[in-house]
Structure 1
């Protein structure tokens, strides 16, 4: 029944998005249409991810979901950079980090925990990801901000470019470590629990659905970007709030839906891989790539965040590490993450 509702939403929402953008329908109306269409499309991305996870395993399934989901974020950010909205892009990257660690993981832990008293996931992956989170967010994001206090804009941009290249190389090395040299070395006993299941879609169809849904989401998202200014004026939202909360939630709708579904089905290895893996991909690949891409536009983007953004990301990382390093979770830990997200959302709204 739910799948039929999402299918109808896509069949109605995508044509309405195209027609509305051509006919220049009211901005607020189109903002709602775009957001609902992206959420509906994300459900197909979630189903495709589940099918791939059954056939390829939780690591690759979660990685594919994060990659296709973050492709939307990357496309939105490139359009925003082209429009000179550097602050919005940095804010959306911040929103993706805290959104994945607090909102996506929090909802997954909470909803899964309502059904199962204890849910386990691969503790070795959790500890491996913890080290990368500390490197990517705490080290690589804080260094440019601190050093920029003693540098001019040119040196700050040069430092950002150097850090970006290093982060991309390390991210690719981390994938090689997890998927090639140490694949199966730190396998959790629960990781094989899905092998007897039949995937909803075969691998080829699932990848095709992921690709088509990503293209459709990219189209809708590109038009969504142009509604932000008027929507912000109408509701009294700042560019910071739009970037951190609105863009991040809509841009990462695919991860939200997929991770929650996986947690509800007690497939926590996939849920955690989506939430944390997507965060690492944003911090170690998407953000550095955007720094390099921004060199093609008049306004280059240094990897320098504001102190409220850095504080939000650092505290999110520490909280996630503290709650996930034991390889177990429950509904109360999920509620704790959600509470932290709401507190930060209120703070950024008041800014």
Structure 2
């Protein structure tokens, strides 16, 4: 499988370059770029696994989420430049839904088929639950409510203020987990089954591969963004559906692949850290950064989502919290999350 993904990258990336030079049809470029990004994600997944073995699940999961969300951030910046604010907000919504319901659901489902009962750090789960509630319930709903009685300038000012607070809290949360309270809430049961495992790549090589793959994905993603409008018109997809489903899945392919690999190897601490940690990073760092970046664009982006996007995110957060708070998972819980994602996907398609 690794050879197949490597072959796809060797073919797909040069084809992307040729297509951008010779202006190939949007549908062809959309397919080539999407497949190339997904293939590149396999390399990011293998690098993450090596880092998780060397540095531990928290660092490995955080690095994967960071590099993976760098792709999402890059795609969104190009979309902002093109004035596609609706697509950007929808893609942020899709990332939250995709990480919590699709990635989390597939991880629990596939891992649960192989292992009837999988465990992960319950203290990390409850800590992340509180931040999820803050990020989506507090930081996303408050701008929506206050924006009803504000003009456009005041809404942007509110969004910028909230964004600065969210970024500060996210960085403080990382300091809490990785510095002041590192190891305080470790697993009660030592994971001796992985202690002998050797990483595929050394730490420097894994980080280098993550960096190179991210840079290539950034280039491919820029070309992918330019196909959205034409492909949407040809297939009858709305801007909302493209953002929530298509951009989110392609932009977060790296996390998707990595989390599934970890779950199939019963490394649920890493899988959950990728799914939940990536969601937090999107909501508390990527979204606020995009608000601040938009200040330098022709059109500014307020942190105001549509009602359907807010309801979907709030529902996903509460469902995920109820499932992860016991520190255990099984295939049926995964299927429940996947069912919720499919229902929301159908809803956004029909809007």
In structure 2, the residue matched to 1:185 is 184
Distance of 2:14 and 2:92 partners within structure 1: 29
Distance of aligned partners of 1:192 and 1:149 in 2 relative to their CA distance in 1, 3 Å threshold: farther
Note the residue ranges of structure 2 that are not aligned, 5 or more in a row: none
Superposed CA deviations along residues 163-186 of structure 1, whole A, max 9, x for unmatched, are 000000000000000000000000
In structure 2, the residue matched to 1:17 is 16
In structure 2, the residue matched to 1:201 is 201
Q: How many residues align?
A: 350
Distance of 2:27 and 2:160 partners within structure 1: 38
Q: Cα distance, 1:195 vs. partner?
A: 2.8
Q: TM-score, normalised by structure 1?
A: 0.99
Q: Cα distance, 1:29 vs. partner?
A: 1.2
Q: Cα distance, 1:209 vs. partner?
A: 0.4
- Answering whether residue 330 of structure 2 is matched by residue 330 of structure 1, we say yes
Q: Cα distance, 1:135 vs. partner?
A: 0.2
Superposed CA deviations along residues 139-180 of structure 1, whole A, max 9, x for unmatched, are 000000001111111111111111000000000000000000
Q: Cα distance, 1:298 vs. partner?
A: 1.4
Q: Are the equivalent residues in 2 in contact too, given 1:121–1:190 (CA < 8 A)?
A: no
In structure 2, the residue matched to 1:119 is 118
Note the residue ranges of structure 1 that are not aligned, 5 or more in a row: none
Q: Are the equivalent residues in 2 in contact too, given 1:80–1:86 (CA < 8 A)?
A: yes
In structure 2, the residue matched to 1:138 is 137
Q: What secondary structure is seen at the aligned counterpart in 1 of 2:194?
A: coil
In structure 2, the residue matched to 1:236 is 236
- Answering whether residue 307 of structure 2 is matched by residue 291 of structure 1, we say no
Q: What secondary structure is seen at the aligned counterpart in 2 of 1:185?
A: coil
Distance of 1:250 and 1:174 partners within structure 2: 28
1:288-327 equivalent positions in 2, closer than 5 A: 288-327=288-327
Q: Cα distance, 1:194 vs. partner?
A: 2.6
Distance of 2:91 and 2:190 partners within structure 1: 34
Q: Are the equivalent residues in 2 in contact too, given 1:65–1:274 (CA < 8 A)?
A: yes
Distance of 1:75 and 1:241 partners within structure 2: 19
Q: Cα distance, 1:21 vs. partner?
A: 1.2
In structure 1, the residue matched to 2:262 is 262
Aligned-CA RMSD value: 0.8
